[in-house]
Amino acid sequence: MRWFSLERWTARFSMTPRILLDAYAEERLPVARQVVRLTNWLTQLALMDRQLRGVRNFAIGLVSPVVSRRFVWQLSGLAYR
């Protein structure tokens, strides 16, 4: 998903603020859903059953810093510009 392009912003500035806000919300809703889905998954991972925590911790140790960085960017919403 792309961030608003300059041409689209220029075209939308002729709209009322309410219509502009609705258009922005419609475009960003899929991104918000992805962030919530990832947050939910990470919360479930963090609250995993005590007996599985060793496996979880081992698996997390195998994850490279690149993947970890990707999660941080996705959670912040900055990966979806």
pTM equals 0.59
Q: How far is CA 45 from the centre of its chain?
A: 17
Q: Which sequence spans correspond to the domains of the chain?
A: 6-76
**Segment 21-65, tens digit of pLDDT:** 888 888 889 888 988 998 898 899 889 898 998 888 888 778 767
Contact 3, 52 (CB under 8 A): no
